[in-house]
Amino acid sequence: MIQNLIDGVLTGSYLSLGAIGLTLVMHILRFANFSHAELLSLGAYAALVFDALVTALVPVLAAKLGPLSLTYALLIAILISMVLTGISAVLIDRLVFKRVREKGWELSMVFASFGMALIIRNVIGLIFGLSPELYSKDIAFAMILSRDPLILVKPDQVFVLIAALALMFVLHLILSRTTFGYALRAVAENPSLAQVNGVNLARTVTAVWLIGGGLAAVAGVFYGLSHQVIPVMGRDLVLPIFAATIVGGIGSVYGAVLGGFIVGIAGNLALVVLPSGYTPSIPFMLILIVLMIRPHGLFGEARA
């Protein structure tokens, strides 16, 4: 039970990172982006490639950080992957979503995102093969926190949680303390009014994709560290991430963080009462419960 709770918090840390970007995009561009989870796989695979590349170029960096299975090379690869995934998100928007948006077919954006998800997921499968990959072939030994009840935590999981919380704190500072943060909130509130006040709409949209893509990349790597890197990971993550945004309230960054942890914990706690086969249905049950009790989520506001 306590083990499930701990595992849930760790699952929640990467779901939250994924949900933050998604909720921002849904808030500013007003469409449910079904290809957001594919940015997680894109980031995970980019890190895989650059991890191998950096290790090959500078073998010294293959050293591990303390008790973690994470190497210095992977740390550098994560940073590169954040930038690349952010840029990819901007490019996908420029090439596809922006064109559909400008034609005034706002509802069709959802369709376009489904199409993009199919393309990205399967192109990754074609390039990297359909079998799972790992960042480290070594077995990560878990630390025993307590023997009765048995509670195990891997050092990597602790790192993932701390790093995720740190990133969220940085994002919080940016959103609440900088002019850019105000501009972002202004655009979400009322795009035309924000433009009248000198906020550059196109630049704000680009920034949202960069942030969303960067966080998605980290989320993807963290998922890969906890499980494995596999082309269909986006397919399995899309519903939990959406559930996190709905539980938190679409558009609320803090809601997305809390929602991510709630979805992660609920999914792991459900294992106590339900066979593990039913885990993929849990996010949907949460969505139904939230829609019944509090349709706009914990922090969301009603908006047409």
Partner 1 sequence: MIGTISYLVFFATTASILAIAVLGLNLQWGNTGLFNGGVVAFFGAGAYGTLILGGTPQDGHLGGYGLFYPLALLGGMIAAGLMAWVVGLLTLRLRHDYLAIATFGVAVAFENLMRNAEWLAGGAKGVRGFERPLRDALGDGFLYNIAFFFTVLIILIAVYLFLERLVASPFGRLLRAIREDEEAAASLGKTPSRIRLTAFITGSVILGLAGGLYGTFYAFVSPQDVLPTLTFQIWAMLIVGGAGNNRGAVFGAFLIWGAWTASGWALSRFAPIEAQLYTGSMQFVLIGVVIVGMLMWRPQGLLPERLVVSQRGSKE
User: In whole angstroms, how close is the CB of 246 to partner 1 at the nearest point?
Assistant: 6
DSSP 8-state secondary structure symbol assigned to residue 61: G
| Block residue for tokens 């307590």 | 146
Q: Could you say which of 52, 80, 119, 153 contacts partner 1 (CB under 8 A)?
A: 119
Minimum distance of partner 1 from residue 259's CB (angstroms):
13
Q: By CB under 8 A, tell whether 301 contacts partner 1.
A: no
Question: With b meaning 16 or more CB within 10 Å and e meaning fewer, what string describes 266-279?
Answer: bbbbbbeeeeeeee
Q: Which of 42, 48, 112, 262 binds partner 1 (CB under 8 A)?
A: 112
Closest approach, Cβ 8 to partner 1, in A, equals: 19
Alpha carbon distance 121, 234 (integer Å)? 7
Q: Is 9 in the site for partner 1 (CB under 8 A)?
A: no
Residue ranges in 234-273 that form contacts with partner 1 under rule CB under 8 A: 235, 238-239, 242-243, 246, 250
The only residue of 116, 233, 237, 270 in contact with partner 1, by rule CB under 8 A: 116
Q: How many positions of this chain bind partner 1 (CB under 8 A)?
A: 50
Stretch of 1-9, 123-131, 147-155, 200-208 lying at the interface with partner 1 (CB under 8 A): 123-131
The pair phi, psi for residue 145, each rounded to 5°, is: -80, -35
To partner 1, the closest distance from the beta carbon of 120 in angstroms equals 8
Compare residues 130 and 165 and give the one whose CB is closer to partner 1: 130
Tell me the residue type at 244: A
Q: Is 152 strand, coil or helix?
A: strand
CB of 255 or CB of 283, closer to partner 1: 283
Binding positions for partner 1, 126-145, rule CB under 8 A: 126, 130
Q: Using CA atoms, how far apart are residues 200 and 47, in angstroms rounded to an integer?
A: 32
- The phi, psi pair for 198, rounded to 5°, reads 85, 15
- Taking CB under 8 A as the binding criterion, the range among 3-11, 92-100, 137-145, 217-225 that sits at the site for partner 1 is 92-100
CB neighbours of residue 169 within 10 Å = 10
Q: Binders of partner 1 among 150-179, rule CB under 8 A?
A: none
Among 49, 53, 64, 125, binds partner 1 (CB under 8 A): 125
User: Tokens 């008790």, residue?
Assistant: 67
- 26 contributes a contact to partner 1 by CB under 8 A: yes
Decide: helix, strand or coil at residue 133. Answer: strand
Q: How many beta carbons lie within 10 A of that of residue 83, not counting itself?
A: 14
Task: Using DSSP, state whether 31 is helix, strand or coil.
Answer: coil
User: What does the alpha-carbon distance between residue 151 and residue 18 come to, in Å, rounded to a whole number?
Assistant: 27
Provide the β-strand partners of residue 133.
Answer: 229
Please, what is the end-to-end C-alpha distance for the chain in angstroms?
Answer: 41
Question: Interface with partner 1 by CB under 8 A: which residues?
Answer: 26, 30-32, 34, 96, 99-100, 103, 105, 107-108, 110-112, 114-119, 121-123, 125-126, 130, 235, 238-239, 242-243, 246, 250, 275, 277-278, 280-281, 283-285, 287-288, 291-292, 295-296, 303-304
